[in-house]
Amino acid sequence: ICFVSGGPFLGKSRLIDEVAGKAANDGFTILKSFRTSLDSFTSFFPLRQIVSAAMIKCAMLTAGREIDNEVSAANYLVDENIFKKTDRVNIGSIVPTVADEQLLSLLSGLNPKARTRTIVDSLMKILKLLQPFMIILEGDGDIDPSSWSLLAELMQRASAECPQIMLIVSSRDSPTITSAASNLRRNAVQVKLTPFEKYETELFLRVMLGVRNRDIAVDQKLLDVVHDRANGCPLFIECVVRWALEKNMIEYVEGSKKMSLKMLDERSDDVTAAIPRELSNILLAPFNNLPPPLWDALKIASCIGYSFDADLYSTLNQVLDFMPKIRELAVKHECFEQTGSHFRWKQQAVYEAVKSLLMVNQRQNIHRMIVRAFKQHKIANDDIDVKGGDVHRLLGRHCALAQDWAGAFEQYMKAGDRAKATFNFNEASKMYEEAIDFQAKMTEQPPLRSRMIPTINLGTCLRELARYKEAEAVLTRCLNEAQSEFSDITLDEHLYVRALTALAALYQAQSKYEAARKLYEKAVPIARNIQESKSSLWLAGNIAGYAETLRKSGDLPQAESHHREALEIRTRAVQEKSCTELELAVSYTQLGCTLAGMRQYEDAYEQHHRALALRYRYLDFSHGLVSESLNYCAESLCALGRGGEGIPLALHAVEIRKLIFGTSHPAYAHALSVLASCYHAVGRSFDARDCLEKCLEICEVAFQKNHANIIPNLMNYGNVLRSTGDLVKARIVYQRAITIHQLNFKRGQQASQLEKCKTELEDLSRKIELLESSASSATNNLSHAPLKVPFAPPDIEDRGTPVIVFTDIGRDVDDELALVVMSSLRRMHLLNPIAVITTLCPEENRAHLARGTLDAIGMADVPVGVGSSGGVDSDVELEVYGADYSRASPCIHEDGMGLVYRALESVPPKSAQILCIASLSDVATLIREREELFTTKVKEVILMGGVVSLEAGEALIPDSAYNNNCDVSAARFVYKKCQELGVPTATLSRWAAYGCPIPPQLLDEIAKSEHMVATNVRGVSKLSIDQLWNKVILHPADPRREKLPSRCDINWFCRTFMGTTEVSKDWTSSIWSHVKKLNMYDPLAVLLCVPAYRSTHFKWKTKIVNGVQHIVVGTSELDTGICNRLSLYHEYATLFLTAFTESLHKEKSSFL
């Protein structure tokens, strides 16, 4: 980090350009922007050029072709999954041209810190690819606070995420850095340029005059006049000396051996008088012969500013032919440099010189002329949409400089309204403050209504920015002024209601519910009285605001009544087509929360599910409002005792809010709290504890100390701690909840909440006293380790066949999709997975993925255990593909085989199936260690693998299939013992999978569900195919093939995935685009577990050993064992979609 400061014309730009040139030669990407004092109002303006250039360079780098604008770059980055849609929204905060208007509401509710973090999250995705790079922020204006915060966040994270970065900031004075960005100054190198001292001017003079002989001096008069005229500025020294040399005014005097000024006018005694005191005369000398129209264009440009956008000032073309003249000045006279539609003065000194020629009244007249041109010739609507607040802000500035205070007020109000509509409350608040200042300068005092609107808007923005004290001062002053000036006759009731409700909303945000309630009780009757329409959304919003205050203060019956009234109004508005159905989701959500508070959980869930269905239909899945509905549905399901159903919804809400709000926002904390409740409901209290500890950590920072919103989280935490056995800590938590309640609520408010806390506290105190008085130590009674939950005997008729699954999930996607099919069959009460064991090194990481997958597809209650390394050497770790939902969990059983034994002990004799879709090592361990348990409880073993020809002998022998090959001795042992012990086996071979391939489009279809597992499976599949291709092209003895059988060569790959035997020379990039079919091995093995599916879709050959049937599906390329490929494909494709849509409580759709 480097700060370069110094007055104008001291060489800052030249110094920085030299550094940037050297860096570019060393391979740095240079990202540069320039700002003026006019830009300090616009949030992130100094970064606009930087980010635009970064997107274009990143897109060009990855595409390998030219991309000429930021919109095309953003589209490409989204298409290539470098950016997600939400990244485009975040980047749009800086570069408005790339913003997605439909997703702007994602920014709603984001405080400035969270917004900054999410923007940096998005920026990191492209900046990492451009390393090493240099960011240069040049200019003479202040940098806005939002930009400082973003730069601080970027540099703080750079060391870990993007270390090859250099930041250079130049300014006239030492930069004014906000407190939030103070870390920048601590870590920065400071470079300050100062004017030359006189001796330095002399040294520079000698260089310019080519004086190398030390015996030759510089005359004192010459030195004095140059130093005086140039003010010690190197640029001006050059200008003065060159001007004097051109005029032949400097000579060498032989007698005195000095460089001296030459007398040009014999009548003057003062030789220095010939050099102009105003440097502008020297600087502008090259332009003396410009025709008047071009001089006029220069003067207008000097009033516009040091840099400007040609598109914004195109209105001047029709009156003055302005931009063609500017282009002529740029090309023929080198006055300007152009980048796209942006022009900038080539020399700041020339800009200042032209500006100095104009008198105050001349500048005012030019600004009036610009304002007239804007008003007479409006900019095209598309340009206004793209440039947004810039148009109104710049026009407002011209109005202000023309002393048109009314016009300035109007334009700054429009700029503020636009910034507010895009949730840029920082910029909006500045615009409204400017509007209020200009309003105060009007000669005639505007009416109260005109004074109140900007004040109310300002207070609302300050509230959104959590600047509560400032907001309260502004809104209270506004309301007091309104009440003092309005009479009963002149009362503007609509505006009065706005003032009341704005202050009420502020009080509600601060948990001052009583104060908010009193204001709403004044406002709502007036709103009802003045609103004739029975479908007014404005009236519905005011009634709903009052209802929310009632709900939060504990008056739930009144809140319900008002929310139902608001819902009726909005329903009429939808029927009259004055708004979309989406408006109803607001009422459904608020009514659902109220009903939940009244413990009417069925009705609450119904309302929240209605809201979720509408938001699914109209909004992007990653929208913040979708996450809100997911959260509330999960919360309602948990309250109904259906916490397992709520976990997939809560997990998706957590991921969406993490993406949108970041990991320090209360919205993310609330999602964690709901997820914790769902985990607790299915007996996973230690997972719930971890979630709640993260949640409370966020809340303690995000909320004011002892805020009422922390109470529900504390109550959840106390309840969970009690379940884990930590009674002492649980009591402390409930005590704190009571204290916070008493600080926030008056007697009788939220009484049920307080009563519950007190009841829990008393009960905990009794139990702790009992433990302390007992002979045993309380510590010994309170285990802080995950408990082994006993298995309940499974109800086979009601829940389906108990199954234990051995999987190497994470190696390829079909293991994960097998669990997806299992979840659908579980919902149909056909299969009941009672344990999932992960095998194949690194087995712990596979357990994390299995745990996350099961949670996401509605099987959070199915236990996961860690198996063996699957026959792989301990020093060899195979790949486990990544997933955001893969997570370590205290409930994962480290002793996987112990879990298997307990699961089998819980089932009736000959009722369980063993499904092995991985190495057979752990099944072999089961038989070796607990043979009797195995033979007594297991009715069948289903194996994904293969056997040698059934005619090869009297017994089945495993072949070289991958799963068999991982641990050959274990595979042989399992087949041998099953046949000896009379336990039937069903083997599904690779030939069966080849007989029912799927097109890659199926993965695209299931990904449309937006389920986190479906989207990850699609992404991983492409990567897996590419990786498999890179293995099969290796020599059979190459260790990088891992356990891949030697038969899996290039020809096998082409036959299997392309339906061809020819290798194309074009296959140099990703092989994915050439794939015609994919093989789903493990999902077919799951279907084989169900008798109905087995008899319908599979044909098998039987080998009878010791009187027991052992079946094999797929014995050769010609005998795949598939009855009807299309029918089977439709079956499991439907099961995939059912699992994903039902776990998200979505409406089912059909596959194409």
- pLDDT, tens digit (0-9, with 9 covering 90-100), for 580-638: 888 899 999 999 999 999 999 999 999 999 999 999 988 878 888 899 999 999 999 99
Chain-centroid distance of CA 361 in Å reads 50
Q: How far is CA 1048 from CA 541, 997, 1066, 1073, in A?
A: 65, 17, 21, 20
Q: What is the pLDDT of residue 1152?
A: 38
Three-class SS of 331-376: HHCCCEEEECCEEEECCHHHHHHHHHCCCHHHHHHHHHHHHHHHHH
CB 93 within 8 A of CB 123: no
Decide if pLDDT at 274 tops 70. Answer: no
- Taking the CA atoms of residue 121, residue 123, residue 125 and residue 131 in that order, the dihedral angle to the nearest 10 degrees is -130
- Range ranked top by mean pLDDT from 33-37, 138-142, 428-432: 428-432
Q: What is the pLDDT of residue 33?
A: 87
Q: What is the pLDDT of residue 1150?
A: 45
Mean pLDDT is lowest, of 405-409, 877-881, 902-906, 1002-1006, for: 877-881
Q: How far is CA 27 from CA 32, 51, 136, 206, 885, in A?
A: 16, 19, 16, 37, 38
d(CA 72, CA 640): 49
- Range ranked top by mean pLDDT from 462-471, 1008-1017, 1065-1074: 1008-1017
Average pLDDT over residues 867-891: 86
pLDDT tier for residue 1148 given thresholds of 50, 70 and 90: low
Q: What is the pLDDT of residue 1042?
A: 77
Strands 342-345, 336-339: pairing is antiparallel
1100 closest CA partner among 1115, 1090, 1112:
1112
Structure confidence by residue, pLDDT tens digits, 585-599: 999 999 999 999 999
Structure confidence by residue, pLDDT tens digits, 649-665: 999 999 988 877 778 77
d(CA 864, CA 899): 8
Average pLDDT over residues 125-142: 89
Residue 914, number of CB atoms within 10 A of its CB: 27
Query: Tokens 């930087």, residue?
Result: 50
Q: What residues are paired with 1098 via a beta bridge?
A: 1122
pLDDT tier for residue 1125 given thresholds of 50, 70 and 90: very high
Q: What is the pLDDT of residue 872?
A: 82
Q: Which two tokens stand for residue 194?
A: 């100062």
Handedness of CA 485, 490, 495, 499 (dihedral sign): positive
List all residues 6 or more positions away from 521 whose beta carbon is below 8 Å from its beta carbon. Answer: 546
Q: What is the pLDDT of residue 1045?
A: 85
Structure confidence by residue, pLDDT tens digits, 480-524: 887 876 655 566 788 889 999 999 999 998 888 899 999 999 999
The string of DSSP codes covering 895-947 is: -HHHHHHHHHHTSPTT-EEEEEES-SHHHHHHHHH-HHHHHHHEEEEEEEE-B
Q: Which two tokens stand for residue 832?
A: 């009941």
Q: What is the pLDDT of residue 41?
A: 65
Q: What is the pLDDT of residue 108?
A: 57
Structure confidence by residue, pLDDT tens digits, 1000-1047: 888 888 988 899 999 999 888 877 787 788 888 888 888 888 778 888
d(CA 846, CA 807): 9
Structure confidence by residue, pLDDT tens digits, 68-94: 888 899 988 887 878 877 788 788 888
Structure confidence by residue, pLDDT tens digits, 779-828: 444 444 444 556 666 677 778 999 999 999 998 899 999 999 999 999 99
pLDDT tier for residue 276 given thresholds of 50, 70 and 90: low
More confident residue, 642 or 83: 642
Q: What is the pLDDT of residue 509?
A: 86
Q: What is the pLDDT of residue 1063?
A: 62
Decide if pLDDT at 382 tops 70. Answer: no
Q: What is the pLDDT of residue 137?
A: 92
Asked, as a colleague might, if the bond just before 909 is cis with ω within 30 of 0, I would say no
561 closest CA partner among 538, 594, 527, 536:
594
More confident residue, 113 or 371: 371
Average pLDDT over residues 195-199: 91
Strands 2-6, 165-171: pairing is parallel
- Range ranked top by mean pLDDT from 375-379, 477-481, 499-503: 499-503
d(CA 310, CA 344): 10
Q: How far is CA 770 from CA 668, 728, 764, 774, 833, in A?
A: 39, 12, 10, 6, 40
Decide if pLDDT at 378 tops 80. Answer: no
Q: What is the pLDDT of residue 102?
A: 52
Average pLDDT over residues 979-983: 95
Decide if pLDDT at 386 tops 50. Answer: no
More confident residue, 713 or 1077: 713
Average pLDDT over residues 736-746: 89
pLDDT averaged over every residue in the chain: 86
| R_g of the chain computed on alpha carbons | 37
Structure confidence by residue, pLDDT tens digits, 300-355: 998 888 888 888 788 888 777 899 999 999 999 889 988 777 888 888 778 888 88
More confident residue, 981 or 224: 981
Decide if pLDDT at 109 tops 60. Answer: no
Above pLDDT 70, what percent of the chain? 92
496 closest CA partner among 470, 530, 464:
530
Decide if pLDDT at 527 tops 50. Answer: yes
641 closest CA partner among 613, 670, 608, 599:
599
